[in-house]
Amino acid sequence: MTDNGWRKTGVAVVKIEILKKKQPRIKSDSRKGKKDNGGFTLVELLVVISIIALLMAVLLPALSKARTQAKRIVCLSGLRQLVTAWMAYAENNDGKLVNGGTAPPPTTAAAIASTEPYWCTSFNTSADPGYDWSWKVYGDYSGILTYAQRIEKLKKGAIFRYCQNIKSYRCPEADKDMHRTYVMPASMNAYCVGCYYSTDSKVAKRLGQIKRSKERVVFFEEREITPDAFQFPDNTTGTFSWTYDKPNIMHGDGANFGFADGHADYHRWECASTLKWAKTPSSAPQDGAPTSAELTTCMKDYDWMLNAVWGLTR
């Protein structure tokens, strides 16, 4: 063969080798005889999905708990701001407490009504018509007034000048149509429909009259706002009854409270009868209240409230 023939054959061999190198290599599954295209198998995909589902099952409860805890903290912050505003009013008015009610008292309580302006306005009057109630028995959350109108009533309250953050008057756990979720007790220079306390002398009129201020509640949470101050009896002997007002559970099995020394804290209800009443939907605050017999089986919540509202013990 001529030199040229060898050279041509050699070139052909080189070309073939080059073409072989350029072609992609195809892997094969010797067990199944299938080509591997680099994708996930069904088993692998199911494993990944299972892992994701497991992570979600672990993380979602923790995230939900963190979200709930964050709302509780925001609520406590709002209560502290309201108590600070309440204290500021007293300091700027010779120690006099703002009226703990939200409206003119009924005739039966006129003698024990405060002469100070209301901490927030609620009732219907000729000068300030409409209600800001949110208890559903009175007509859903409209309370006769629109949400914006109820906010305007809130701004007319005596402590608004000291706390002008509208969000401070409402717990984030509340329904979106609630404009406020806090109420003051009748013991803090207010009145009580039906007069559930025995004497006006127990009602604090001035800041200096409040003893053990770190234990005395100034602001309560209410899931649905009632039309006056928070009511609780003051009897320390005899037959016990807790019919007004309904205990509230805004956070777990308890609620947040603002205290007279300026701090706010969470309190969990301990009695089954209290929790049952609090969790039972009702058309009026006294519906579902425990009987005297039920109450006497567990007095822990009653005793806590007796001290928190009136500073009394059995």
pLDDT in tens, 282-299: 666 677 788 888 888 899
Whether the pTM exceeds 0.85: the reply is no
Residue 3's φ and ψ, nearest 5 degrees, are: -60, -35
pLDDT at 20: 52
pLDDT, tens digit, 9 for 90 and up, residues 124-139: 555 555 555 554 444 4
The pLDDT value recorded for residue 14 is 45
Q: Tens of pLDDT along 169-223?
A: 999 988 877 888 899 998 898 865 544 555 566 889 999 999 999 999 999 998 7
In the chain, the DSSP E strands lie at 28-29, 34-35, 182-183, 217-221, 254-259, 264-268
Burial 22-56 (b: 16+ CB within 10 A, else e): eeeeeeeeeeeeeeeeeeeeeeeeeeeeeeeeeee
What is the overall mean pLDDT for the chain? 77
Could you identify the residue written with the tokens 């039972």?
280
Position with higher pLDDT, 115 vs 100: 100
Rounded mean pLDDT, 215-235: 83
Q: 124 near 130, Cβ under 8 Å?
A: yes
Written as one letter, the residue type at 250 is M
- Helix (H/G/I), strand (E/B), else coil: 63: helix
Q: What is the pLDDT of residue 7?
A: 47
CA angle 241, 268, 89 (to 5 degrees): 80
Dump pLDDT digits (tens) for 20-51: 555 555 454 445 555 555 667 888 888 888 88
What number is the average pLDDT over the span 112-116?
A: 68
Cα end-to-end span (Å), the chain: 125
- Averaged pLDDT, 262-281: 91
d(C-alpha 122, C-alpha 117), whole Å = 12
Least trusted range by pLDDT, from 91-105, 185-199, 214-228, 242-256: 185-199
Domains of the chain, by residue range, sit at 62-310
What is the 8-class DSSP label of residue 230? B
**Contact call for residues 245 and 227 (beta carbons, < 8 A):** no
How sure is the predictor about 87, in pLDDT bands with cuts at 50, 70 and 90? very high
pLDDT of residue 227: 66
**100-120 mean pLDDT:** 67
CA-angle at 221, arms to 220 and 227, nearest 5°: 85
Contact 197, 108 (CB under 8 A): no
